[in-house]
Amino acid sequence: MFLNIKTAFTSIIKSSTWLKDEEKNLIIDKAEKIVLKTGYPKEVIDKDLMEKYYEGVEIREGQFLLNAANISRWTMRKNLAYITKTYIPDDYFINPTIINAYYIKYNNIVTFLTGYLQFPFYDLGHDALNYGSTAFSVGHELHHAFDTQGLMIKDGKVGDWWNITFQQQFDNRKKCFTNKYSQYGWGNIKVNGNRTIDEDLADHGGLRTSLLAYQNILKLKGSELKLPGFENYTSEQLFFLSFANSFCMETTEADKITLVQDVHTPLNFRLIGTVTNSEEFSRIWNCRNGTKMNPNEQRCSLW
């Protein structure tokens, strides 16, 4: 799946009408170097490695406060060593049972934790469903290598890797997304499109990439088996049903205020923001011009 996403991403970059050849090469080169880590760190199932990992932490029976302080000290030292690069982690940073995936900018690593690679996000038994859900997330994480911060880093070094023309074009395209997402919200509780831009770009790129990767698979297979109960839907429509399903959420009034303060746009607007900017979505669902999901307005596009 990861390789299929990389292949789809490469063809999207190659087909870009505004990127210059040398910029395409830089982007493709970085994408090819992205390493995927899945599951959990090896010390989880190896006692010796676990002992080594926690070397230096003093734990005494019955001394809970002291133990907590010792663990905090050990964690802080480890984090500081990472900043000075005297310690390069083969680390998952967070508990592998958490349902999450992330991109580490300096190391160019995408990590999918065990907690994520489970039903209902993964192992859905059907490529349309797996690609609409997990492959989208893979594409999303991959795009963090090319968001505002990601673009500043190449081979682990921060630098000015892009010329003025690229930067201007990129910023203009970003602005389209920022303006659109800033209109989303509940009454006066609005999304801050400037804050969420990197996540919104990753969503947009993730959807485009995972859909193309799935369409490539479909071409190879010819067709997919029908899903019982969903026989009237095409495979591409199933992809979108799975995509939308992973954005389901329940919101209370109090939640709304907190949700718009996050770097992620609230899930329902993430869904609307991605599909309304997808030409493919309108084609696949036969959305007429001027309908809610195919509004009469300029679509935003990154590449």
Residues that bind Zn ion (CB under 5 A): 199, 202
CA-based angle 273:274:277, to the nearest 5? 85
Distances (CA, A) of 157 to 107, 108, 153, 154: 10, 11, 5, 5
Distances (CA, A) of 155 to 19, 158, 162, 273: 21, 9, 14, 32
Q: Return the number of the residue (127 or 203) whose C-beta is nearest Zn ion.
A: 203
Residue 203 annotated as catalytic: yes
Q: Return the number of the residue (199 or 224) whose C-beta is nearest Zn ion.
A: 199
Distances (CA, A) of 286 to 151, 206, 237, 281, 289: 36, 22, 10, 8, 9
Residue 297 annotated as catalytic: no
Least distance to Zn ion, CB of residue 144, Å: 6
Least distance to Zn ion, CB of residue 148, Å: 12
Q: Return the number of the residue (132 or 206) whose C-beta is nearest Zn ion.
A: 206
Q: Return the number of the residue (150 or 282) whose C-beta is nearest Zn ion.
A: 150
Q: In the numeric block, which tokens belong to residue 142?
A: 């991959």
Choosing from 23, 199, 203, 236, which is the catalytic residue? 203
Choosing from 127, 141, 198, 199, which is the catalytic residue? 141
Q: Return the number of the residue (127 or 198) whose C-beta is nearest Zn ion.
A: 198
Least distance to Zn ion, CB of residue 111, Å: 12
Q: Which residue has the tokens 């800033």?
A: 182
Which run of H or of E encompasses 65? helix 64-83
How are the residues of the chain apportioned to helix, strand and coil, as percentages rounded to the nearest 5? 55, 10, 40
Q: In the numeric block, which tokens belong to residue 266?
A: 């609230």
Q: Return the number of the residue (71 or 153) whose C-beta is nearest Zn ion.
A: 153
Least distance to Zn ion, CB of residue 171, Å: 20
Are 110 and 101 contacting, i.e. CB atoms less than 8 angstroms apart? yes
Q: Which residue has the tokens 């690593």?
A: 109
Least distance to Zn ion, CB of residue 199, Å: 5
Task: Give the span between the Cα atoms of 243 and 271, in whole angstroms.
Answer: 8
SS3 98: coil
Least distance to Zn ion, CB of residue 32, Å: 20
Q: What is the set of active-site residues?
A: 141, 203
